[in-house]
Amino acid sequence: MEEQQKDVNNLHKSSLGMDENVAGLLSYVFGFITGIIFFVLEKESRFVKFHAMQSILISAAFFVLSSVLGFIPILGWLVLLLLSPVAFILWIVLMYKAYKHEWFKLPVVGDIAEKQANVQ
């Protein structure tokens, strides 16, 4: 009975010793930096690796897009002003979904992240 209880408690633990949902949330906190850390360090949990890779990809995409828009006078700056709150809201949603232990896939980026998470 006690051995079964241990298995149930470890059901959603990552190889890093924390709950998968917490590790998934933390992989988004500092964008691609924490994404890379969790993707490299996590050895077992596909859930954590998925969210870490999705964090890397979406952070890199927003970084590149922001850099390009920053060089375009007026129109690029206006689009960047609209993109910033959208990116912030998406960041909050992704952390919330990871904490709720959901495999929330973004279009295109989510498919790539899922493929990378399956490669072990």
pLDDT digits (tens, 9 = 90+) for 58-69: 999 999 999 999
Rg (CA), the chain: 17
Expressed as residue numbers, the domain containing 19 is 2-118
pTM of the model: 0.84
97-100 contacts: CB < 8 A, separation 24 or more? 98/21, 98/24, 98/25, 98/27, 98/28, 98/51, 99/21, 99/22, 99/24, 99/25, 100/21
How many residues does this entry show for the chain?
A: 120
Sign of CA dihedral 88, 90, 95, 100: positive
Mean pLDDT value of segment 69-96 = 95
5-55: pLDDT as tens digits: 333 344 478 889 999 999 999 999 999 999 999 999 999 999 999 999 999
- Position 10 scores a pLDDT of 44
CA atoms of 91 and 55, how far apart (whole Å): 9
Number of domains comprising the chain: 1
Look at 4-8, 32-36, 82-86, 106-110 and tell me which has the smallest mean pLDDT: 4-8
